Amino acid sequence: MPFRLPQLKLDPLIALILTAVVIAIFFPARGDFAEGFSVATKIAIAFLFFLYGARLSPQEAVAGFKHWKLHATILSFTYLVFPLAGLALFPLKYLLGNELYLGLLYLMLVPSTVQSSVAFTSIARGNVPGAIVSASASNLLGIVITPLLVMLLMGSGGIKISGNVFLDIAIQLLLPFVLGQLTRRFTASFAKNHLVKQIDRLSIAMVVYAAFSEGMVDGIWTRVSWWQIIFLVALAVALVEAMLWFTGFAGKSWASLTKTA
């Protein structure tokens, strides 16, 4: 039989993110366009949370909330294990510099996106309703917990957060979600179609484009050497692999304990 190379399919979300990065490198958003694009990004994210609020039925919410052990484990990893891992990387401050270390630490303080959590759970044939509830809860709790963790763990880096941040984030994320719940009688069928996933991917790509554009305009690449970029990529891969193993180990251990109890 002739040898055939395996066909690799690039995930649409990864493809959009890579495309956004490339476009930002060559055509970064500047001036009025950057301001307008920032507003459009906020609208897209608010609309996304509205759709997730309309998508989650009370029955799904009740069924999902019953798995409190699952949610407790996920929240513990999101807001306890990951921040502790970020603190454990403190020695990298002297290798990468204060700014890059703070960037790494910040990544340890934010939850995963709802779309990626639900998509990966679906691929693994897991509890999709539980993933929707847990991911939504993580993001909604992150409205309060993430800024608090940033102020607590990154305050020494000269980062200051105004109290208006809590109000701004609540208006952009929490309010649309609540409105989606209140109006789901009329919007549930629309929110469950394929458009939700596309808007989720698009909103993530918009955030990536805006962030990379800002970095390009500020000349961030002139402040980061090639070896730092390679080191960060290798570190990110190692962290993902370590956390995947740790979460898998914790889940299997917890399941065996509950069976024997």
Q: Is 43 exposed, middle or buried (0-12, 13-18, 19+ CB in 10 A)?
A: middle
Give tens-digit pLDDT for 152-197.
Answer: 888 754 455 555 656 776 777 778 888 888 888 888 777 776 567 7
Q: What is the mean pLDDT of residues 2-13?
A: 61
Domain assignments of the chain as residue spans, ordered by start:
33-218, 225-261
Tokens of 194: 């394929």
Average pLDDT, rounded, for the chain: 80
Question: Could you tell me how far CA 61 lies from the centroid of its own chain?
Answer: 21
Tell whether pTM > 0.85. no
Q: What is the pLDDT of residue 6?
A: 53
**Least confident residue range of 62-66, 108-112, 149-153, 207-211:** 62-66
**Strand ranges (E), the chain:** none
Q: Tell me the C-alpha distance between 250 and 261, whole Å.
A: 16
**Cβ contact 54:188 at 8 Å:** yes
* pLDDT over threshold 60, residue 233: yes
**Looking at residue 2, what is its pLDDT?**
53
pLDDT reading at 261 higher than 80: no
- The region, left, alpha or beta by phi > 0 then psi within -120 to 50, assigned to residue 125 is left
> Average pLDDT of 219-246?
86
**Is the distance from CB of 131 to CB of 218 less than 8 angstroms?**
no
Are 205 and 20 contacting, i.e. CB atoms less than 8 angstroms apart? yes
Asked whether the predicted pLDDT for residue 138 surpasses 60, the reply is yes
pLDDT at 1 over 50: no
Selection from 23-37, 117-131, 135-149, 195-209 with the highest mean pLDDT: 23-37
Q: Are 93 and 157 in contact (CB under 8 A)?
A: no
- CA 31 – CA 93 distance, rounded (Å): 33
CATH class as words, domain 33-218? mainly alpha
pLDDT at residue 134 tops 50: yes
